[in-house]
Amino acid sequence: MADFNVLDYFFWLLLLIAFVMEIWALVDALTVPQGAFAAASKQSKKLWMIILIVATVLGLAHVAAPAYGIRPIGLLLGILPVAAFIAAAVYLADVRPAVAPYKKRNGGRGGSSGPYGPW
């Protein structure tokens, strides 16, 4: 990152934060059973996985681009990093809460739990 000013580092930090959100959304979607999406009346897991993988790859490309001399402000003004961020944000704000009740808890063990642990 040669000849970048403080504002360029700030915009790169925004790209990095968006990339972390995209990773978070992808990892969370991987842990949700396939039937949870249909039960919650959301798009299929396969579609969400495609969307989130593409978003994460775009996020990685945009975070790494300043290392090749591309200024971060130019990247943030494009539609692709914004679309990738929005895809992850929609998953985290809408889909994740809807499918959360269907996620496996306790490492796949039974869900019954007493006051001192599982029975």
Is it the case that residue 36 has pLDDT exceeding 90?
yes
- pLDDT, tens digit (0-9, with 9 covering 90-100), for 78-102: 899 999 999 999 999 999 999 999 8
Mean pLDDT within 69-81: 84
Residues 6+ apart with CB under 8 A from 65: 72, 75
Q: Which residue has the higher pLDDT, 21 or 69?
A: 21
Q: What one-character DSSP code corresponds to residue 119?
A: -
Burial class from Cβ neighbours inside 10 Å (0-12, 13-18, 19+) for residue 12 reads buried
Reported pTM: 0.81
